[in-house]
Structure 1
Amino acid sequence: MAKRALPQPSSERRQRGFEPAFGLMKEPVRAAGESRGFAVARLLTHWAEVAGEELARKTRPVKIGYGHGGMGATLTLLVKATEAPMVQMALPVLKERVNSVYGYAAVSHIHLTQTAATGFAEGQAEFTPAPKAPPPPDPVIEAKAHEAAEGVDDPSLRSALEQLAQNILTRARP
């Protein structure tokens, strides 16, 4: 029986094992971003970090348009009509944050496009509401958790054990 030669690994094949999910999506995101004028994909993928949590809930970056001279781009943001006046007041701060991503004054204007809460087409630019505060813990469960961690002297360890006990006591059981 003749032995077959093993196929040579192609240069395209990854030989590093598991990769982070974003590593697999980096090129498609970059290509999609560049088609909309975003030379730095970080502006799209990390919008909450760039704009801040409050402004990120109210806005979505749509495109960057460059003028004829190439200097001073215009960033177009999607914003709910009810939030537009508040976002308008925060534009100077937002412009500084966006330009810090680029490393120079790439964006000279920010244009707001007002829309409904779900964007132009339903579901394409959904604005997430502010997260709801968790309900206060049940006093009976708090007392049981405090009782469970009662003998521990270290305050940080006792606090962690109380939190663990509360999580165990409040979890849903099948």
Structure 2
Amino acid sequence: MSGFVDAQIRKAGEKRGFAVMRLLTHWEEIVGGDTARMARPLDVGYGREGFGATLTVLCNGSNAPLVQQLLPQIREKVNACYGYSAISRVRVTQTAPVGFSEGQLAFAAKPKEPTAPPPQVVAASKELASDVESDGLRQALERLGQNVMARTKNT
């Protein structure tokens, strides 16, 4: 699937200055989890005055001082991703390039909500663990059975 959309994603990214799409798609791996939760890349601008580009990162207001302190490390890690010193400056912005309501974006992925196993899976796991005398062990085995059976039915 990625082979089909790779050209379109690269074309869209290059319009925003991201010649290396890995910067967008692997941001957390490049700068680290803590930094990625505080800031994310917006665009790469190439100015007329000298060499190197400017990377603009978005962060919320409370994290801006922390991100400002991390700018040298962010620049080093991003340049390592590019393979050469492509980024000469990193700029922090606290607003999104869209309207105010759209700019209130979440920085972290929402955790998946746990789903209840089907009733037949619960019944089967209780039946399999019914011979165990210890309540704690029996409940743990029931949960394990439910997780295993629900996973095998989904795949």
**Bucket of the pairwise TM-score, normalised by the shorter protein:** 0.5 to 0.7
TM-score under structure 1 normalisation? 0.60
Where do residues 123-142 of structure 1 align in structure 2 (5 Å cutoff)? 125-128=105-108
Asked if 1 retains the 8 angstrom alpha-carbon contact of 2:47 and 2:53, the reply is yes
Distance 2:104 2:93 in 1: 15
RMSD: 3.5
Offset at 1:144? Answer: 2.3
Residue 79 (1) aligns with residue 59 (2): yes
Where do residues 56-135 of structure 1 align in structure 2 (5 Å cutoff)? 56-68=36-48, 71-115=51-95, 120-122=100-102, 125-128=105-108
Distance 2:7 2:93 in 1: 28
Distance 1:141 1:23 in 2: 52
Larger helix proportion of the pair? 2
Asked if 1 retains the 8 angstrom alpha-carbon contact of 2:79 and 2:87, the reply is yes
Question: Which of these two proteins has the greater Rg computed from alpha carbons?
Answer: 1
Distance 2:135 2:75 in 1: 47
Indicate the SS of the match to 1:109: strand
Offset at 1:48? Answer: 1.4
Where do 5+ consecutive residues of structure 2 fail to align?
115-133
Residue in structure 2 matched with residue 33 of structure 1 by the alignment: 13
Distance 2:135 2:50 in 1: 62
- Percentage identity across paired residues of the two chains: 49
Residue in structure 1 matched with residue 24 of structure 2 by the alignment: 44
Residue in structure 2 matched with residue 156 of structure 1 by the alignment: none
Asked if 2 retains the 8 angstrom alpha-carbon contact of 1:57 and 1:129, the reply is no
Offset at 1:123? Answer: 6.4
Kindly tell me: are residues 32 and 105 of structure 1, through their superposed partners in 2, closer, same or farther at Cα, counting changes over 3 Å? same
Kindly tell me: are residues 105 and 142 of structure 1, through their superposed partners in 2, closer, same or farther at Cα, counting changes over 3 Å? farther
Indicate the SS of the match to 1:23: helix
Where do 5+ consecutive residues of structure 1 fail to align?
1-20, 135-139, 149-161
Residue 144 (1) aligns with residue 129 (2): no
Indicate the SS of the match to 2:56: strand
Amino acid in structure 2 at the alignment position of 1:143: L
Greater relative contact order, per chain length (Cα 8 Å cut-off, separation 6+)? 2
Asked if 1 retains the 8 angstrom alpha-carbon contact of 2:95 and 2:103, the reply is no
